[in-house]
């Protein structure tokens, strides 16, 4: 997907750090990344908690798994690793950034992407090699590449100094609506083929809604604009309406990520159906 602005330059760095739970930062003042792990060594667990920590300079941002109308999501290649079968990335909730009408799902300042790395063999020394391609944007967009390498010996699986960062990041990954204190009252698609609308009715259990937003994935390569929001019951009920692309046909589930202040939830809208839940 093209970036939102003209490309100014590209960057490539390589960093290797043996027998540690974190690489050094790789990048520049606009964007940098490092690889961290939750343990300093490997015991008998079949998987390893790791993460990529990104930081962005003032006025710069990176992208979520679905970047929106512009930008590039981070892509990670683990194939050069030794004893790593694969990695599953968890995505903290993004922030919406609108630039000249383009909808973008972004991270600003700093974000930690938790990653569960599956091991081919337990209790063995492991070499993690990650090739990361991502973009950082301001008034221009810059494609970055970073090659990071981290060696973990076999051992007791001692918790590392970076473990708290990974745990905090996992808490920021959207969970169920129930865990966020939100009831999904109803989800449906209204309107004809020329003006389809996704309608979501919500009720907050403990506190009024602040500024709910809804990121809708599955309607093409981008994301729709922010929902129109109506509040009821003193702000504890919210009626969200999202305008979908014309001719949208709900042939596969939509992934819906709801954000509201410091809480977030993720759920799916089954294809071709209306849904009510309490």
Does one domain contain both 155 and 52? Answer: yes
Does one domain contain both 211 and 255? Answer: yes
Does one domain contain both 143 and 24? Answer: yes
User: Does pLDDT of 21 surpass 70?
Assistant: yes
Q: How high is the pLDDT of residue 145?
A: 96
Domain end: 108, 143, 171, which one?
A: 171
Does one domain contain both 16 and 84? Answer: yes
Q: What is the mean pLDDT of the chain?
A: 89
Q: How high is the pLDDT of residue 251?
A: 65
Domain end: 171, 197, 228, which one?
A: 171
In a domain, 3, yes or no: no
User: Does pLDDT of 10 surpass 70?
Assistant: no
User: CATH number of the domain that 262 lies in?
Assistant: 2.60.40.1150
Q: How high is the pLDDT of residue 215?
A: 97
In a domain, 77, yes or no: yes
Q: How high is the pLDDT of residue 4?
A: 47
In a domain, 2, yes or no: no
Does one domain contain both 37 and 116? Answer: yes
Q: How high is the pLDDT of residue 191?
A: 85
In a domain, 40, yes or no: yes
- Average pLDDT rounded to a whole number, residues 91-95: 97
User: Does pLDDT of 3 surpass 60?
Assistant: no
Does one domain contain both 208 and 260? Answer: yes
Does one domain contain both 253 and 196? Answer: yes
In a domain, 4, yes or no: no
Does one domain contain both 264 and 202? Answer: yes
Please tell me the least confidently modeled range out of 120-134, 222-236, 261-275: 261-275
User: CATH number of the domain that 69 lies in?
Assistant: 2.60.40
User: Does pLDDT of 8 surpass 50?
Assistant: no
Q: How high is the pLDDT of residue 70?
A: 85
Which tens digit of pLDDT belongs to each residue from 136-193? 999 899 999 999 999 999 999 999 999 999 999 999 999 999 999 999 999 999 987 7
Domain end: 119, 144, 171, which one?
A: 171
Does one domain contain both 21 and 137? Answer: yes
The total of structural domains in the chain comes to: 2
In a domain, 100, yes or no: yes
Q: If pLDDT is split at 50, 70 and 90, which confidence band does 20 have? A: low
User: Does pLDDT of 245 surpass 60?
Assistant: yes
User: Does pLDDT of 247 surpass 90?
Assistant: no
In a domain, 177, yes or no: no
Q: How high is the pLDDT of residue 127?
A: 96
User: Does pLDDT of 201 surpass 60?
Assistant: yes
In a domain, 226, yes or no: yes
Per the structure, the complete domain to which residue 90 belongs is given by: 11-171
Does one domain contain both 225 and 147? Answer: no
Q: Could you tell me the CA-to-CA distances from 235 to 62, 200, 205, 239 in Å, in that order?
A: 32, 15, 11, 10
Does one domain contain both 97 and 209? Answer: no
Which tens digit of pLDDT belongs to each residue from 55-72? 999 999 999 999 999 889
Does one domain contain both 115 and 94? Answer: yes
């Amino acid at each position: 997907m093209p970036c939102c602005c003209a490309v100014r330059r590209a960057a490539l760095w390589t960093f290797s750090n043996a027998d540690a739970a974190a690489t050094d930062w790789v990048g520049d003042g606009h964007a940098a990344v490092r690889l961290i792990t939750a343990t300093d060594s490997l015991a008998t667990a079949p998987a390893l908690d790791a993460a990529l920590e990104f930081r962005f300079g003032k006025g710069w941002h990176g992208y979520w798994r679905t970047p929106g109308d512009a930008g590039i999501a981070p892509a990670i290649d683990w194939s050069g690793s030794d004893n790593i079968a694969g990695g599953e990335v968890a995505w903290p909730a993004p922030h919406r950034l609108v630039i000249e009408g383009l909808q973008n799902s972004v991270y600003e300042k700093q974000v930690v992407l938790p990653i569960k790395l599956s091991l081919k063999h337990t209790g063995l020394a492991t070499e993690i090699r990650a090739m990361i391609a991502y973009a950082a944007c301001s008034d221009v967009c810059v494609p970055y590449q970073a090659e990071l390498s981290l060696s973990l010996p076999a051992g007791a699986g001692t918790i590392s100094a970076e473990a708290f960062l990974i745990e905090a990041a996992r808490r920021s990954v959207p969970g169920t609506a129930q865990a966020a204190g939100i009831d999904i009252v109803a989800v449906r698609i209204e309107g004809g083929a020329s003006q389809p609308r996704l309608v979501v009715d919500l009720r907050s259990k403990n506190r009024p809604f602040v500024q709910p937003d809804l990121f809708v994935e599955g309607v093409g390569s981008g994301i729709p604009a922010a929902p129109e929001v109506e509040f009821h019951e003193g702000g504890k009920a919210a009626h969200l309406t999202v305008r979908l692309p014309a001719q949208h046909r709900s042939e596969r589930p939509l992934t819906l990520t709801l954000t509201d202040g410091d809480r977030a939830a993720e759920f799916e809208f089954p294809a071709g159906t209306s849904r009510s839940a309490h």
